[in-house]
Structure 1
Amino acid sequence: MTGDADLLTAQRARFTAVDPALPEAVAPPQDDRTETLTAALPDGRRVTASLVHASYPVGSAHRLWSAAEVWELMPLIGDTGGVGLNALLNAWVERMRTVSPPTSDSACLVSWPSRDVEATRVFLDHGFQPLTTLAVRRTVQQPQPRVEPLVVRRARNADMDAMLQLTLAELRYSASVGATVFRENAVPLKRDALRKRLLDGDPVWVAERDGMTLALADCAWTPVTPGSWAGSRLQPGNWGYVNCVSVLPGARGNSIGRRLMDVVHAEFTRGGASGTYLYYNPPNPLSSVFWPRQGYRPLWTLWEARPATALR
């Protein structure tokens, strides 16, 4: 029988081989909030995973980018590849048959390295969709961007109405092409989040022309250290986080988003960022083209079976 320590060592080596940009693989959590699943392979080896169930109450901000009820699996498969992952997902299917039938506002979720092509086939066969990608861009030196006649500047309290309009436009669009859900309390939740960003002095930029705000880049700094949640997703360093970028629908196609991000990237570089990261939706026909052109590439894919009954 393969122990968890051996599985973790093998999984670290496999992740490094699949994508050297990944952080060191960490052991799945094991506490009173998690359940352990195991599966036996034909050669006698065993693989394991932690299963976490979360329910987000009505009014929770988490519901804007997640189903209300989520089962998340964190596999530890060592070097068994698709065979081990498939065995764990089969065990998960059997486990889900023992719970009360999930509602339509539910999901089964696995975050897995994007470049693991062998795993991709397994996820698709089990009813998962790649609804969200965590993508990264390493800091590169670049010439100072030209911003005239477009003016890019840090956001102020006086920009709140325009910022909220842009944020809600992005939320509505993302709800059509990804994991986002436009809830009935989206407006106050987004307004409160923007107010907190400005109060905390987070890097938030707007782009305007002739006094009209056309685009928003809502960003933050993320210090990443080993052992933290962020450390399980990114290599150590001080990362810039791009939370939301939105261009007014009527202003799209004029390079405004690109020029806004030129300024954002230059400012993060000037601040000593190790790199920048963000989440985008692969089914989104705009962001799936825009972000790779800005130098971002997938690191992790969040695979979802939504609703949870879609798991097979």
Structure 2
Amino acid sequence: MRAAWRPRALDPLLPRAIPLPRPAAGDVLLCVPGAAGVYRRKRPDPESFDASWCAADRHELHADLTGPDRAAALDALLTAWEEHLVPWPPGADAEAVFTWPSRDAALVPVLRGHGLTPQRVAAVRPAGRTVPWPRRAPEACVRPLGPADLEAAAALWLAELHWEAQFGSCVIRPSTARNVGRQLAGALGWVAEAGGRLVGLLAVEDPRRTAWAARLARARHPGYLTSLMVSPAYRGSGIGTALVRTAHAALEEAGCTVTMLHYAALNPLSAPFWHRCGYRPLWTTWTGPAHRGRVNGARASVPPG
């Protein structure tokens, strides 16, 4: 009999297990050979900051794969999930979402076969990894974010969100600008100043409030980086790297054993930059029109167990 699969065998920075959420009102419990799942539908408050990070109608699948053939089990679970999804018209503010460990490459053909594509990556960096020095000294002064910087810093963050929105990782809503300002008002952050104006911003979540991130990674005290933006004219000048080095030093001094962040999987700039800074993918969020079934009606390609 094959031993039960453990996430840490795949990636030592994953938690010991991937538990299903406790069922809530409206959840649908799914059970197929070798897997169990929870289908949860969410409609975030449009005035909340969460609404800027997902569709207005979000259909989530949470999975526990217990059988010896995990690819076949996931294929069956996705099929069972699709049977509960109500088709939505093209262009609807809706999405089907499934998040799973990035290194589980054996399941990628199954996910692609069901019409899902990578949307966001949760990346992790263990403390102590060195960030390479910029190729040349940045043409800017890096200093802590202060109250007088909030308006300009919020404009930088909002510009970053508009850039990210084209990759599907966020949604610009009427409440987004207001919530960006609120987030920055209580954030720990640093700015880069050149020629008398802000050209870079990095913000992190207060390390005393990041216990939630321990559900994603094996970490006693995780740090979380919420935003990095460098004005287009200054990209490639070393400002981003200087901001990241400053933030890492502060988080490690605060006792953070890992730092996490999310980036858009389709952003051509994010992955290369963050990987150079010592981050690697831990979780990938897949999204797509799961209500339409498999790609072109073809059966998902399931590797032999």
**CA deviation map 1:131-166 (0-9, x unaligned):** 100000111165997977532111111001210111
Structure 2 Cα separation of the partners of residues 81 and 286 of structure 1: 33
For residues 164-203 of structure 1, the aligned pairs below 5 Å read 164-197=154-187, 203=188
Measure the CA separation in 2 of the matches of 1:26 and 1:276.
20
Contact kept? 1:24, 1:232, Cα under 8 Å: no
Equivalent residue number for residue 93 of structure 1: 82
Output one character per residue of 1:158-217: Cα deviation in whole Å (capped at 9) or x when no partner. Answer: 0012101110110000001132111123211211221232xxxxx211111243211000
Corresponding residue for 2:250?
A: 267
After superposition, the Cα gap between the structure-2 partners of 1:310 and 1:56, relative to the gap in structure 1 and judged at 3 Å, is: farther
1:135 aligns with 2:129: no
RMSD over equivalenced CA pairs, Å? 2.6
1-structure distance, mates of 2:173, 2:247:
29
Change (3 A) 1:196 1:270: closer
Would you say the 8 A contact 2:52–2:170 is kept in 1? yes
How far residue 84 of structure 1 moved from its aligned partner, in angstroms, is 0.8
Q: C-alpha separation between the residues in 2 aligned to 1:50 and 1:309? A: 16
TM-score (norm 2): 0.86
Question: What is the CA distance between 1:100 and its match in structure 2?
Answer: 6.4
Q: Counterparts in 2 of 1:206-221, with a 5 A limit?
A: 206-221=191-206
In percent, how many aligned pairs have the same letter? 32
Q: 1:160 to 1:309 in 2, by over 3 A?
A: same
How many pairs are equivalent? Answer: 289
Q: 1:211-239 CA deviation, whole Å, 9 max, x = no partner? A: 321100010245699xx753331113112
Point out where structure 1 has 5 or more consecutive residues left out of the alignment.
1-5, 41-45, 198-202
Give a deviation string over 1:78-123, Cα, whole Å, max 9, x none: 2432111111001111121xx3646711111111000000111111
**Partner in structure 2 of residue 54 of structure 1:** 42
In 2, distance between residues paired with 1:223 and 1:116? 31
1:37 aligns with 2:64: no
After superposing on structure 2, the runs of 4+ consecutive aligned residues of structure 1 that deviate more than 4 Å are 141-149, 222-225
Q: Does 1:152 align with 2:142?
A: yes
Matched, 1:243 2:226: yes
Tell me which residue corresponds to 1:43. Answer: none
Aligned mates of 1:108, 1:210 — CA distance in 2: 45
Distance 2:208 2:175 in 1: 30
* Cα distance change of structure 1 residues 274 and 310 upon mapping to structure 2, 3 Å threshold: farther
Distance 2:209 2:243 in 1: 25
Q: Quick one: which amino acid aligns to residue 288 of structure 1? A: A
CA contact (8 A) 1:27 1:76 kept: yes
Which residue of the partner structure matches residue 4 of structure 2? 10
Q: Is the 8 A contact 2:132 2:276 kept in 1?
A: no
For the 8 Å contact 2:42–2:59, the answer to whether it is kept is yes
8 Å contact from structure 1 (residues 214, 248) kept in 2: yes
1:275 shift after superposition: 1.4
User: Distance in 2 between the 1:296 and 1:176 partners?
Assistant: 23
